[in-house]
A = this chain, B = another copy of it.
Amino acid sequence: MSNTFGTLFRITTFGESHGAGIGVIIDGCPAGIGVDAAQIQAALDRRRPGQSDLTTPRKESDTVQIQSGLFEGFTTGTPISLFIPNADQRSDDYSHIAKAYRPSHADYTYDVKYGRRDHRGGGRSSARETAARVAAGAVAAQLLAHFGVEIAAYVSTVGEVEVPVEYQDLDFALIDANPVRCPHPETAVRMEARIREAQAAHDTVGGIITGVARHVPAGLGEPVFDKLPAVLGHALLSINAVKGFEFGSGFAGTRLPGSVHNDEFYTDEAGAVRTRTNHSGGSQGGISNGQDINFRVAFKPVATLLQPQQTINDQGEAITLVGRGRHDACVLPRAVPIVEAMTQLVLADLLLRARANRL
């Protein structure tokens, strides 16, 4: 198991979907950061189930408790413990899957790896674990705010419905203006319809989240193995249901000639070094160059379906599984704060690490 992430700003998460709760320990947050518990709670509220009728009707209040690490509202350099009790546990919902290997879930692989598993609601493999990441990300965000770094993410694709413009042409203030978390209002309407269509068909749908980090100082990222996109990719690929990560020009950039892809440097009026284009996605040689860091994350359709599926049980016998319970038809709106949190955690860590490079 590897439940710790980060080198200097490090988090360790714990907890299962149906135990006492889930939580996270943040070790390495510098002393002297004012931490506002309301900001942590606000981030959790954007991730929690039941926030709109587009998401699972499961109600989880997800109320965070700060157990250590703060004194008079400021960090002290000691570990910050955040705990989120599990409120709405209906274990009986899961009895039908205790011995089934649900298609495209982690049931089979956990059994092979560990020889036993907590089958209630997916146990540790449940996406509920990501609430702990969101809470920790909200602390990282308050550290990053000291340096002016701003991070945002939004839903850019649901199924085949795509935002038709680049992130530069969007008003991020509109991200939370609709339940889909897409800042392009017309597309948001179509996305919402696409999700309701999936709900109605007892099916699910995937999509893509775009992330942007602005005002990131140049110099973050540790060559050669902890290049900024490598660590960021690691972080985002560790989120449940993620199948791909690309930054800057990404996969599409492979079709451009070098003479078009290269980002010319120039000096702006204020004397700052800038590039005319940003196919590099804000990272060159694995180190931030001061331009926007931008990337896209692919989420597969949710694997839990409210329709019959063929599979096997833990004896290898063929069975028909009929999903039940309260599940999302599309995870993307609730995944936006998770993508933001992992980005916050990565940048906070790289920011601290960068201090050791020079005297």
Q: Tell me whether A245 is interfacial, beta carbon within 8 Å.
A: yes
Binds B, one of A48-56, A184-192, A260-268: A260-268
Q: Tell me whether A210 is interfacial, beta carbon within 8 Å.
A: no
Q: Tell me whether A116 is interfacial, beta carbon within 8 Å.
A: yes
| Contact of B208 with A251 in the complex, beta carbons under 8 Å | yes
Interchain CA distance A218-B19 in the complex, whole Å: 27
Number of interface residues of A (CB under 8 A): 151
Give min CB distance, A1 to chain B, whole Å: 5
Kindly identify which residue among B221, B224, B229 contacts A124, using a CB–CB cutoff of 8 Å.
B224
Give min CB distance, A125 to chain B, whole Å: 4
Kindly identify which residue among B117, B233, B254, B273 contacts A159, using a CB–CB cutoff of 8 Å.
B254
Q: Tell me whether A344 is interfacial, beta carbon within 8 Å.
A: no
Interchain CA distance A21-B23 in the complex, whole Å: 14
Among A19, A207, A255, A283, the one with the most B-chain Cβ atoms within 10 Å of its Cβ is A255
Residues of B within 8 A of A312 (CB): 265-267, 273
In the complex, per-residue mask of A190-225: 1 if CB is within 8 Å of any chain B CB, else 0? 000000001001011111100000000011011111
Which residues in chain A, 101-119, are within 8 Å of chain B measured between CB atoms? 101, 103-106, 108-110, 112-118
| Contact of A101 with B226 in the complex, beta carbons under 8 Å | no
Q: Tell me whether A67 is interfacial, beta carbon within 8 Å.
A: yes
| Contact of B225 with A2 in the complex, beta carbons under 8 Å | yes
Q: Tell me whether A90 is interfacial, beta carbon within 8 Å.
A: no
| Contact of B206 with A253 in the complex, beta carbons under 8 Å | yes
| Contact of B3 with A79 in the complex, beta carbons under 8 Å | yes
Interchain CA distance A257-B200 in the complex, whole Å: 13
Residues of B within 8 A of A4 (CB): 4, 10, 12, 27, 225
Q: Tell me whether A164 is interfacial, beta carbon within 8 Å.
A: no
| Chain B residue with the shortest CB-CB distance to A290 | B112
Q: Given A3-B25, A103-B262, A230-B237, is A355 in contact with B358 using a C-beta cutoff of 8 Å?
A: no
| Chain B residue with the shortest CB-CB distance to A312 | B265
Give min CB distance, A344 to chain B, whole Å: 15
Q: Tell me whether A77 is interfacial, beta carbon within 8 Å.
A: yes
In the complex, per-residue mask of A32-71: 1 if CB is within 8 Å of any chain B CB, else 0? 1100000000000000000000000000000001111101
| Contact of B1 with A222 in the complex, beta carbons under 8 Å | yes
Q: Tell me whether A341 is interfacial, beta carbon within 8 Å.
A: no
| Contact of B243 with A237 in the complex, beta carbons under 8 Å | no
In the complex, per-residue mask of A326-359: 1 if CB is within 8 Å of any chain B CB, else 0? 0000000000000000000000000011111111
The 10 closest A-B pairs by CB, nearest first: A106-B285, A244-B246, A204-B258, A109-B287, A258-B301, A234-B234, A31-B114, A2-B226, A14-B79, A206-B254
Can you name 28 A-B pairs with beta carbons within 8 Å? Answer: A1-B79, A14-B68, A15-B79, A19-B67, A20-B68, A76-B114, A78-B223, A104-B263, A104-B284, A106-B285, A109-B285, A207-B254, A227-B237, A227-B238, A230-B237, A231-B234, A233-B237, A234-B234, A237-B245, A243-B250, A244-B246, A245-B245, A253-B300, A254-B300, A259-B305, A265-B312, A271-B316, A273-B312
